[in-house]
């Protein structure tokens, strides 16, 4: 049989709790009851409230913050400064191209037969090595050297040309004829001194000598135009002085006289090699194409909104070139030209410049990005990002005009650029060396909006 005593007391306690809950004091009563039951009926000790310094608003845009309140607000300040980071345009996309001003097409001055190709002078892992230099024939991609001082350019190929042989024979014939005509003129002058020859014959002989001299000069100019060296021309004239007009050159001499040496006119890389030994070539054929890849052309697209800033800068404009596939590598160069015509579909202007490739790390045709640093504006100021408070409509900064006084002014500012840790402000609201609130600025802004003005 159940005892009714505990049940009766539970009902009484439940009725009392419900009654007190209607009065809103159930929690307080329970708290007091439990404490009294655990600790006895000692009265709760009350402490008088401690008065603390208060924030005040001396005017509409200022706030007075006692120094004792600084720790509770987490208030910190820092000095505004001039911009310390470059102002950059968004990266410009483009690609690398060969500088056509440094592209040389190698052709033969006279038609002939390609007898041999020059040898590679750089050490190579393949081919026959002699004294550390590969003796394999030149091929596409090899580096060649141009003339330096008295040293001629690297030999690229050797041709035999019957046309060159005929032109040299023509020079031999002209030199030999001049020799004979001079001898005839001397004999006529000797006869004239004896009075045994008409004066007209002497004048005709002098005219023949002049024609011979003109012919020799013409043939020499033609040979120079076909890249025949002065040494070769002198050798041909010396040979003509030795030979009689009925003599003929030996086979070995004919081969030497018909030889055309094709040499590199500049340092560079062989971009094309179009013939092999035994091929017949003419003057319109490109035997080789040599390009100087130490500097490459960069073509980029400049957006229409970025054009005004670039057009104000003095060219050439320095830029930094990076590869999307190798973003950590940077290459220096400069922008030189900006097109006066915009692409109607993209609204971009084509700009070109150069980039240094002296180490040969860049390749023609690669995609690149170009970064250009713009000059800093005269009124830009840098502050920590925590100093700027924004509500979507305006941006404000709290400035401490006098570092010795805990008074702060709220100033509306214009944001020029943002970084993850600093913000650049434009205008005169904040000046260099002003102290700005970098932590606790949001709390100051809320307090200034809620406190009444008390001068």
In 3D space, the residue among 76, 75, 78, 87 whose CA is nearest the CA of residue 424 turns out to be 87
* Fold observed for domain 108-159+263-285: OB fold (Dihydrolipoamide Acetyltransferase, E2P) (2.40.50)
Task: Answer for the pair 77, 437: CB distance below 8 angstroms, yes or no.
Answer: yes
The CATH architecture assigned to 62-86+377-450 reads Beta Barrel (2.40)
pLDDT tens digits, residue range 173-229? 888 888 888 888 888 888 888 777 888 888 888 899 999 999 989 988 888 887 787
Residue-level pLDDT at 306: 87
- Give the strand pairing for 367-371 and 348-356: unpaired
Model confidence pTM above 0.85: no
| Lookup result for tokens 């000095």 | 79
pLDDT tens digits, residue range 94-147? 999 999 999 999 999 889 999 999 988 776 555 555 555 557 889 999 999 999
Q: What's the rounded Cα separation, in Å, for the pair 98 and 390?
A: 50
The CATH architecture assigned to 92-99+293-373 reads Beta Barrel (2.40)
Q: What's the rounded Cα separation, in Å, for the pair 426 and 424?
A: 7
Task: Answer for the pair 77, 270: CB distance below 8 angstroms, yes or no.
Answer: no
Cross-strand partners of 405: none
Helix axes 26-39 and 5-22, enclosed angle (nearest 10): 130
- Give the strand pairing for 367-371 and 395-400: unpaired
Residue-level pLDDT at 47: 53
Residues (pLDDT < 70) of the chain are: 1-53, 123-134, 242-255
Tokens of 15: 């009725």
- Label residue 374 exposed, middle or buried (CB < 10 Å: 0-12, 13-18, 19+): middle
Residue-level pLDDT at 322: 94
Q: What's the rounded Cα separation, in Å, for the pair 425 and 394?
A: 13
Distances (CA, A) of 422 to 83, 198, 289, 321, 382: 10, 106, 52, 25, 7
In 3D space, the residue among 89, 79, 81, 145 whose CA is nearest the CA of residue 118 turns out to be 145
CA 370 to chain centre: 6
Domain boundaries, the chain: 62-86+377-450, 92-99+293-373, 108-159+263-285, 162-257
């Amino acid at each position: 049989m159940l005892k009714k005593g505990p049940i009766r007391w539970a009902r009484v306690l439940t009725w009392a709790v419900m009654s007190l809950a209607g009065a809103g004091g159930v929690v307080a009563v329970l708290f007091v009851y439990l404490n009294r039951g655990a600790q006895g009926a000692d009265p709760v000790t009350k402490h008088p409230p401690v008065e603390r310094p208060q924030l005040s608003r001396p005017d509409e845009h200022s706030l007075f913050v006692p120094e004792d309140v600084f720790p509770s607000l987490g208030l910190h300040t820092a000095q505004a400064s001039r911009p310390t980071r470059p102002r950059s345009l968004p990266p410009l996309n483009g690609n690398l191209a060969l500088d056509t001003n440094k592209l040389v097409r190698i052709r033969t001055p006279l038609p002939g037969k390609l007898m041999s190709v020059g040898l590679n002078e750089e050490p190579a892992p393949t081919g026959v090595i002699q004294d550390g230099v590969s003796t394999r024939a030149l091929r596409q991609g090899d580096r060649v050297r141009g003339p330096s001082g008295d040293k001629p350019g690297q030999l690229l190929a050797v041709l035999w040309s019957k046309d060159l042989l005929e032109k040299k024979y023509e020079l031999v014939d002209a030199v030999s004829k001049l020799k004979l005509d001079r001898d005839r003129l001397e004999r006529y002058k000797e006869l004239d001194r004896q009075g045994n020859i008409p004066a007209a014959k002497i004048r005709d002989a002098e005219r023949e000598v002049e024609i011979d001299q003109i012919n020799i000069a013409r043939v020499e100019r033609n040979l120079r135009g076909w890249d025949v060296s002065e040494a070769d021309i002198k050798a041909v004239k010396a040979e003509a002085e030795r030979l009689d007009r009925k003599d003929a050159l030996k086979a070995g001499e004919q081969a030497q006289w018909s030889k055309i040496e094709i040499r590199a006119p500049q340092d560079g890389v062989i971009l094309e090699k179009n013939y092999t030994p035994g091929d017949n070539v003419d003057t319109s054929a490109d035997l080789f194409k040599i390009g100087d890849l130490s500097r490459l052309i960069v073509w980029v697209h400049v957006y229409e909104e970025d054009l005004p800033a670039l057009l104000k800068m003095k060219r050439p404009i320095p830029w930094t070139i990076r590869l999307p596939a190798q973003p950590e590598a940077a290459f220096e160069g400069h922008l030189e030209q900006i097109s006066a015509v915009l692409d109607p579909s993209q609204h971009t202007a084509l700009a070109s410049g150069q980039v240094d490739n002296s180490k040969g790390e860049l390749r023609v045709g690669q995609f690149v990005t170009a970064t250009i640093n713009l000059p800093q504006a005269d009124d830009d100021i840098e502050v920590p990002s925590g100093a700027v408070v924004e509500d979507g409509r305006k941006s404000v900064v709290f400035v401490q005009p006098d570092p010795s006084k805990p008074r702060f002014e709220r100033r509306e500012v214009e944001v020029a650029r943002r970084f993850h840790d600093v913000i650049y402000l434009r205008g005169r609201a904040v000046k260099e060396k002003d102290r700005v609130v970098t932590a606790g600025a949001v709390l100051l802004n809320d307090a200034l909006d809620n406190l009444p003005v008390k001068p």
